[in-house]
Each structure stands twice: as structure tokens, then as C-alpha cells.
Amino acid sequence: MSIEELSLELNSVQLQDEQALEQFRIRFLGSKNVLKDLYAAIKDIPNDQKRAYGQQVNALKEQAEQIFHGAKAAMTEVRSTGPAADLSKPVGDSKVGAHHPLSLIRREIIEIFNRVGFVVSEGPEIEDDWHNFSALNFAPEHPARDMQDTFFIQKGAQELALRTHTSSVQVRVMENQAPPIRTISPGRVYRNEAISARAHCFFHQVEGLYIDKNVSFADLKQTLLYFAQALFGTDTQIRLRPSYFPFTEPSAEVDVSCSLCAAKGCNVCKYTGWLEIMGCGMVDPNVLEACGIDSQTYAGFAFGMGVERIAQLKFRVSDLRLYSENDARFLRQFKSGIV
């Protein structure tokens, strides 16, 4: 366009809103504005006319800048002198989300054990036989290896499995870290089970491991008592019942006193006053040796709990399926857990 045409356009322009103002800025003041072509044409102007031509182009640029800044200042003044905001009005319902209940419990468990020196370790969800079974003292004929309990994956000639517990992470830690070891392993695990209100084909665990010199069963009990009281309240008591796990000896099931009825008996604790929360035990020497740790020098304890189980006790959710169905009506109930 010529100088005359652009001059006529500037003299007739009217900027009524911010959108028109931005379009004007792009056209006359932007990185690819129309005035650049006029500046580029100076080289083709006869020498005796270049000065006058340049002055005309500069005048157009100055006029465009004045129009832009004037219109912008006028619009800013209109906004600032508009009706004041009513600060007494209630805040509208902000559509914020909430952490998943399992995430809330998982984080709380991790924070409790962090306070006493446990660090988080993670590992793959697809494991080989060694890390998922053999290193943990599972016999070749152990029923957990059966297709009824484990999801197996065939990768060429290698048979892998979806991990059935996060104990496999503990094996990896023991193989790669010299004692003392103090770690917890949160994560998702898989079992080939029928889905119901009390069972699912996948769920979440947090398992703990402590290995050092002179570790005793008393250390295990005191650690679990500290955890139970930090999670359920300072009046909580625990009891340990003899049990069996391939990777610990001796082994025990851990119960906590029912906080809903103050251990007096209710339908939740089946009128026993106790609720089962986890399994535990002293690490079997065979496991230590399999992972390259001298069982004559070191000892240790391990424990494991289901996050869904703890969440059921904390939130009184009776159906495990609710945790994985992503029903917004269910998840909205945990907005109080937002941080």
C-alpha cells in the first residue's frame, strides 16, 4: 500500500474494543507490520527524494503509535472507573478436585515411616521368577506360583509375571545396597482372583524392610506399635498372632484394637475388639543369603500391609470395587483430604 492509502486508513480508524486494538497493533506496529514495506522501498527512491519519503513514513509510524497508545489508555481508564467489585459476595463453588482416598492413605503411611528413617524404594510391576518368588524362599511347588494366583506373561522363552507383592522391590534393594537397610516399598500388585466387594485382581501394598546388626523381634513390635498409634490414635494397641510366610521366620499377623468401638466389640471388628491390618516377621536367613547378605552378621524384619485394607478401616468403605470405578460421587466425598 502507498503512503497516501495508509494515511487515509489511519485518519479514519476507530478502535472500539480490545480486539480491534490488538488487530491495529499487529497491522501497524507488529513484527510484520505494513510500514516495513515502505521502509524497504527507500532503496528504490531517487536520492534527492529519499529524505522527504523517509520523513513521511516516520510520520505514519508516529501517528500509528499515538493512536494505539491513546486508545489503550482510554480503555484502561474505562476499566478502572467501572463499578467496583462487591467483596461481600460469597465465593462461588470452585470446581477443585480431591486426592484419591488410596493416595491419601498411601501418603500418610509413607510420612509416618519417613519420620523413623524409612526411605521409599520402587521397582517394576513386571517381574521375573527370581525376584518375585525364588529369592523370597518360595519353594518350586508353592501354590502362589500356580496360574490360579499369579498373572504370568510369556516373553519369548522367558516367563515373567505381574508382581504379586512389593517384596520383589525389597529383593532388588538387598541385592544392590549394603546394610544397614531401612526402606518401604509402596506400589500396585496383582493377583488372579475373582473381583468382589472384598477382593480385586489388583490392589496396593506398602511393605517395609529393616536390616542391620542385632535387629530383634522386639524392634519389629515397637516399630509397628509406633505406626499403629500414629495412624489410628495414641490409644491404639496391637497384638501379634503366629502365622506363616515363606520369607520370614518367625512370622505373625498384626491386629490393632478397634477404634470404632474402643475395642469393646462391634460389627466391624466382628465383636472381637481387634482388626487385622498386616503381616510381619523376621527375615528368613535364606532370603538374606540369596541376596548376598551375611545372615551370621545381619538380621532384619519385614512387614506388609494392603493400602485398601487400611483405607477401609479409616474411611469405613465396605466395597473394594469403589476405589477403582472412578465414580465422581464417591471421590468427591474425600475433598477434605485436599492439600
| The total number of structural domains that make up the chain | 2
Q: What is the mean pLDDT of the chain?
A: 87
pLDDT digits (tens, 9 = 90+) for 19-48: 888 888 888 888 888 888 888 888 888 888
Which pLDDT does position 338 carry in this prediction? 44
Which pLDDT does position 148 carry in this prediction? 61
Segment of 5-14, 34-43, 61-70 carrying the highest mean pLDDT: 61-70
**pLDDT of 12 strictly over 90:** no
Mean pLDDT of 91-100: 71
Could you tell me the pLDDT band of residue 286, with boundaries at 50, 70 and 90?
very high
Q: Taking the alpha carbons of 243, 164, 209, 158 in that order, is the dihedral positive or negative?
A: positive
CB count within 10 Å of CB 104 equals: 20
Q: Taking the alpha carbons of 147, 153, 158, 161 in that order, is the dihedral positive or negative?
A: negative
* Residue for grid cell 522501498: 41
Which pLDDT does position 279 carry in this prediction? 95
Structural domain of residue 308, as residue ranges?
101-337
Share of the chain above pLDDT 70, in %: 93
pLDDT digits (tens, 9 = 90+) for 121-145: 999 999 999 999 999 988 888 777 7
Which pLDDT does position 96 carry in this prediction? 67
Query: What SS3 class is residue 94?
Result: coil
Which pLDDT does position 337 carry in this prediction? 47
Which pLDDT does position 112 carry in this prediction? 96
**pLDDT of 197 strictly over 50:** yes
The answer, as to whether pTM is greater than 0.85, is: no
Q: 71 and 164 in one domain?
A: no
Domain at 192, CATH number: 3.30.930.10
The reply to whether 275 falls in a domain is yes
Q: 230 and 106 in one domain?
A: yes
Could you tell me the pLDDT band of residue 83, with boundaries at 50, 70 and 90?
low
Q: 146 and 68 in one domain?
A: no
Could you tell me the pLDDT band of residue 79, with boundaries at 50, 70 and 90?
low
Mean pLDDT of 214-229: 96
Q: 124 and 54 in one domain?
A: no
Strand blocks (E) in the chain: 119-120, 126-127, 152-155, 158-162, 181-190, 202-212, 238-245, 248-257, 274-283, 299-306
Q: 184 and 217 in one domain?
A: yes
Could you tell me the pLDDT band of residue 74, with boundaries at 50, 70 and 90?
confident
Q: 161 and 241 in one domain?
A: yes
Among the candidates 15, 47, 80, a domain finishes at: 80
DSSP 114-151: HTTT-EE----SEE-HHHHTGGGT--TT-GGGSTTT--
**pLDDT of 167 strictly over 80:** yes
The reply to whether 217 falls in a domain is yes
